[in-house]
Every structure is written in structure tokens, then in C-alpha cells.
Amino acid sequence: MVADNKINPPLKSILLIEDNEDDILLTKLALSEITTPPHLLAIKNGKEGLDYLLGENNTQPALTLIDLKLPIIDGISVIEMIAANERLRSMPLVVLTTSLEPSDIKRCYNANINSYLRKPVDYDEFKELISKTVEYWLTLNIPASHH
């Protein structure tokens, strides 16, 4: 007989679409300090990010973090393509960027992002931002798939 019949919930995953290797490493480090760190998949350009999300065999991440300044297809174009896709449009999508350009912010929100966050330069602030973001989206938020 099994003493503990609880089933372990699947490890939640985060997709990070980011071309800056230092920011990828900082995100991995920040996530490693969370009590139950989520699985992180880092993709380094907009085209590969879209290919992953549009791939029918890929599981939709619990959260997608995306930079705006990406090679091949820029982040805002990726966001707009996600918004146009019925399967993906309700996926939690958070912009994580250095840009405070009003036109970038407006275009992103017009494409239905969930949040627009500016990357802090200081690592401790970056770690806190990642921790709070992950806690909210992976723990506190009730995803659209539960409706």
C-alpha cells in the first residue's frame, strides 16, 4: 500500500524569448533561487519563439516572458502574431525589456499582453522582479484554461 497517494503536479514551465545571454543566465539564476523552480526554456530569437509556440506538439508554457529587441522577428511582431492566434491569445504573456518607449508600451498592450515590465540593471532587483512575477503567474493567477 502507498502511504502517500498524492500525485505530484506537473512542473510548470516558463518560455523566455530573449537574445541576450547575460539576461538568460540572470533569469536562470533568479529562478534557481525559488523554492520550487519552474522549468525554463530559453529561445534566442522571435522566429524560433513563434515556431515553438505554434508547434502542435509543444505544450503551452504557463508563462511566456519576451524581450522586444529580438533578432529575425522583433518581440512586438511576435506578440501581435500570438494575439492573432486563437490557441495562444489567452496564454500569459509578459514583456520583460529595457524599453520605456511609449509607442512600444502602447503597441504591446494593444496586442493584449498581460504585463509590461522594465528590466532592472541591479541583480537583486532583477531577482525580486522575476520572483514576484513567477509567484503571481504560476501560483496566484487562475489561468484561462480553468474557465
Residue 12's pLDDT is 86
Residue 59's pLDDT is 82
Domain with residues 13-138, CATH architecture: 3-Layer(aba) Sandwich (3.40)
Query: So where are the chain's domains?
Result: 13-138
Q: Is the pLDDT of residue 77 over 90?
A: yes
Distance, in Å, from the CA atom of 145 to the CA atom of 30, rounded to the nearest integer, reads 27
In this prediction, residue 146 has a pLDDT band, given cuts at 50, 70 and 90, of low
Distance, in Å, from the CA atom of 93 to the CA atom of 89, rounded to the nearest integer, reads 9
